[in-house]
């Protein structure tokens, strides 16, 4: 009987180990490694081998707020986002709709590099600025078609931290 009681104690424990806490928070820390000597930005980014990280990002579009978020990437996928709205304005949307929209808008750094690669030979204009230490794009502007309006991709990325277990 004691053996089974112990197992009943352990089962719920597995659901909480390695996951964000109940309030959705993650533990982050600064990144000590420095590969800034690698000239190619994508290779520099890849040298850090980050699959679990926090990064602030923003976007510009003709859409409702928010226009950016704090994103938490786990295993190279968007795991969670946090954002603020001007005041408590929800613009007729539910909190769940806004969360889902924001999570859908957020992209990983690898996805940002994929956008650059996808449009590098076909876009009317591409402008990219890279973080000098980590290599990720800090500013990304892609005008897919100069003859069209509102199809531009405008992204920014800021503070980067690794997520620790």
| More confident site: 129 or 87 | 129
pLDDT tens, residue by residue, 29-73 = 999 999 999 999 999 999 999 999 999 999 997 677 788 999 999
The pLDDT of residue 86 is 72
**pLDDT above 80: residue 142:** yes
Question: By percentage, how much of the chain surpasses pLDDT 70?
Answer: 82
pTM (2 d.p.): 0.81
Domain ranges of the chain: 27-164
pLDDT tens, residue by residue, 127-141 = 999 999 999 999 999
Quote the mean pLDDT of the chain: 85
The pLDDT of residue 61 is 77
The 3-class SS string of the chain reads: CHHHHHHHHHHHHHHHCCCCCCCCCCEEECCCCCCCCCCCHHHHHHHCCCCCEEEEEEECCCCCCCCEEEEEEECCEEEEEECCCCCCCCCCCCHHHHHHHHHHHCCCHHHHHHHHHHHCCCCCEEEEEECCCCCCEEEEEEECCCCCCCCCEEEEEEEEEEEEC
- Among 2-6, 44-48, 49-53, 99-103, the range scoring the smallest mean pLDDT is 2-6
| More confident site: 116 or 66 | 116
- Among 10-14, 42-46, 108-112, the range scoring the smallest mean pLDDT is 10-14
């Amino acid at each position: 009987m004691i053996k089974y009681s112990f197992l009943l104690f352990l089962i719920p424990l597995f659901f909480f180990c390695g996951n964000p806490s109940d309030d959705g928070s993650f533990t982050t820390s600064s990144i000590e490694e420095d590969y800034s000597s690698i000239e190619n930005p994508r290779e520099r980014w890849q040298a850090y081998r980050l699959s679990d990280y926090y990064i602030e990002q923003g976007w510009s579009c003709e859409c409702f707020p928010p226009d950016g978020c704090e994103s938490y990437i786990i295993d190279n996928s968007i795991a969670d986002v946090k954002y603020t709205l001007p005041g408590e304005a929800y613009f007729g949307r539910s909190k769940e709709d806004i969360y889902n929209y924001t999570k859908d808008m957020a992209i990983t750094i690898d996805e940002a590099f994929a956008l650059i690669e996808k449009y590098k030979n076909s876009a009317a204009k591409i402008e990219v600025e890279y973080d000098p230490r980590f290599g990720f794009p800090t500013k990304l502007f892609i005008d897919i078609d100069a003859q069209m309006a509102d199809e531009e991709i405008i992204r920014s990325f800021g503070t980067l931290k690794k997520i620790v277990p």
